[in-house]
Structure 1
Amino acid sequence: MLTYSVMMFLTTALIILLSIAIYKGKTNLIHSYHQTKVTDKSAYGKAFGKALLGVAMAPLFSGIVGLLGDSEVIAIIAGAVLVIGIGIGIGFIVGVQKKYNKGIF
């Protein structure tokens, strides 16, 4: 599970760097059709960056759980934490999209 944890921590670092860049205004990192109706790009970038940070927490917590042991139960819990966390993070992103883009697409 150590390899899994290291992979999750590296994934977390990558997503955090991406969310910070978007938060600071690089909304061009988000596909253009996701921002067709966005009028306030600055507020959209900050909200999207925060939501993406929520997505980054999923592999972080999953990696931490992976460090707790090497059993099958720990592996299942780590996988569940990852899936549930990504689901919650995507929910945050959908909320940002509905608020600023007046729809998901």
Structure 2
Amino acid sequence: MVELILMISMGLLFIFLGWRIWEKQQITLIHSYHYTKVAEKDKKAYTEKMGKACIIIGIGMILTGIIDFISKTAYGWICFGIFFIWGLIMMFMVQKKYNGGIF
């Protein structure tokens, strides 16, 4: 039960932050060195894609908690790994495209 509550709470936090980054274009939620080289004209696309990647990770966390609670197996963690890697790959690709690199 603790895992379910923790994973849902963390997932909701990631979804909320992703929504703020994407919809509200609140780029300051991302560490400043990650967006220092992003051109002003690209900030909307950058925040949209970074926010979506964060939301994907949050969805993976929620699904992990639910699957592990229902099935009592490690299948939820497989789901988490897939969504986490998917979100990270998206973030790395966005960083490389709009910031010229990871840092």
Both structures adopt the same fold (TM-score exceeding 0.5):
yes
Q: How many residues align?
A: 100
Partner of 2:34: 34
> For residues 17 and 6 of structure 2, what CA distance do their matches in structure 1 show?
17
DSSP 3-state at the match of 2:52: helix
Q: What is the TM-score with the length of structure 1 in the denominator? A: 0.85
Counterparts of 1:13-28 in structure 2 under 5 Å?
13-23=12-22, 24-28=24-28
Contact kept in structure 2, 1:55 and 1:85, CA below 8 Å: yes
| 1:63 correspondence with 2:65 | yes
- For 1:47, the aligned partner's letter is K
- Residue ranges of structure 2 left out of the alignment (5+ in a row): none
CA deviations on 1:82-102 (whole Å, 9 max, x unpaired) are 233212211111111111112
CA displacement at 1:37 relative to structure 2: 1.2
Partner of 2:100: 102
- For 1:41, the aligned partner's letter is K
Partner of 1:50: 52
- For 2:94, the aligned partner's letter is V
Two-structure CA RMSD over aligned residues (Å): 1.4
Percent identity for Structure 1 against Structure 2: 35
